[in-house]
Amino acid sequence: MSKVVLPKTMEGKTILVAGAAGFVPSTLCEFYLKQGAHVIGIDNFITGSRSNIDLLSAYKKFEFHQYNIYEKLPNFKDQKIDYILSMASPASPIDFAIIPIEIMRVNSEGTLKLLELAREKNARFLEASTSEVYGDPEIHPQREDYVGHVNPIGPRSCYDESKRFAEAMTMSFYHKYNVDTRIVRIFNTYGPRMRANDGRVIPNFITQAMKGEDLTVYGDGSQTRSYCYSTDLVNAIHYVLMSSDPTPFNIGNPDEYTVKETAELVIKILGSTSKICYLPLPKDDPKRRRPDITKIQTYSDYKPLVTFEDGIRQTAEYFRSIL
């Protein structure tokens, strides 16, 4: 098994990123723009930020189209596209209750449209899937060959099941049409450009600590999460995109913390006077979440570089600038 050899530059390459106004996708767009690629962003701003697109628009090789990808894609008739990255889905628990149909449609109809475009353009396609495909896992840490423990009608099912569908659709295009596909399963990620009201652990805790409010921990806080800083995640995506393996890769940081430990660390790192309060645990909330990243480390030189302390400080600096 040979290691992934990364190109020295992305000059001359065109990369389409669906969901470009989002937190991770906009970071990925900037990564490729800095490598010299022409980047095409698409977003409908259902959860994405216009300020992220404003930042990307400072680059000469960035172009943006405001579209809802499950309804229609822009006309790329005469345009060369080398890579298509399917990253358009909202991924926050607060979105699951508010826009469940939109989430299901973007991961089904939207993924289908992007795959059809990849087939037409002979482009490499990457599906940004999620650790949520494992549901509330019965094995720990989670390996790529684990098929999951998912509630198909639960409060998280709009996201869990539509991402499982997106993976199946991606593999179907690989097998039936020989489309050059890749799949990444993204574990908990944090960093600048997240929404302050995202509803996930890190933005919740940082904004509460900055305001001197109690940090809300659900359940007794013994459930675990593994947090990957956004730039480390982008490096992992790049390795997988440049690999030759169409089967899923876990990407993230295997360092594991209980939610209670996370709250205590955020308070300590930010020098906050906040306390911790406890609320009932939501239904189907995963008890343990940690990626086994043996596969990506076998294929590449990937390893997370940003410490949790540094990542929290940098994320907090971003939130101070927007709150």
- Cβ distance 134 to 252 under 8 Å? no
Question: Directed axis angle between helix 23-34 and helix 230-241, to 10°?
Answer: 60
- Cβ distance 44 to 70 under 8 Å? no
Length in residues, the chain? 323
70 is catalytic: no
Quick one: which of 236, 89, 239, 245 has its CA closest to 181? 245
The two structure tokens encoding residue 293: 């990243």
The two structure tokens encoding residue 234: 């982008």
3-state SS class at 182:
strand
Quick one: which of 138, 262, 289, 282 has its CA closest to 208? 262
Q: Please name the residues in contact with 117: beta carbons below 8 A apart, sequence gap of 6 or more.
A: 16, 73, 76, 81, 84, 123
Choosing from 159, 174, 227, 299, which is the catalytic residue? Answer: 159
- Cβ distance 39 to 29 under 8 Å? yes
Active site residues: 159
